[in-house]
Amino acid sequence: MDLHLLKKAETAQDGGSNAPIKTWSRRSTILPQFVGLTFNVYNGRKFVPVSVNEDMVGMKLGEFAPTRFFPGHAADKKGKR
């Protein structure tokens, strides 16, 4: 858990702002104080919006911002006849 992220979350809750919190810290654990907040988590290419709910507590922010794109396996050319 990064302290700078906790401070940003506390100020967002105190101010009542709905603006998402931009972060590069994928390693940070989601705390109960984060429930109801939205984070923009960097995945290496862009920021992915993550809305935190109670089920996410204890997990890492990076688990909800995938870094790899899997297009699927190529179709079998023989089977298309």
More confident residue, 77 or 62: 62
- Helices H / strands E in the chain, number of each: 1, 3
Reply yes or no on whether the pLDDT at 15 is more than 80: yes
Question: What's the pTM?
Answer: 0.82
pLDDT tier at 76, thresholds 50, 70, 90: confident
* Confidence class for position 74, pLDDT limits 50, 70, 90: confident
Give the helix/strand (H/E) hosting 9.
Answer: helix 3-15
Average pLDDT over residues 42-59: 96
Q: Which is it for the CA torsion 58, 18, 25, 46, positive or negative?
A: positive
Q: Which domains does the chain have, with CATH numbers?
A: 3-68 (3.30.860.10)
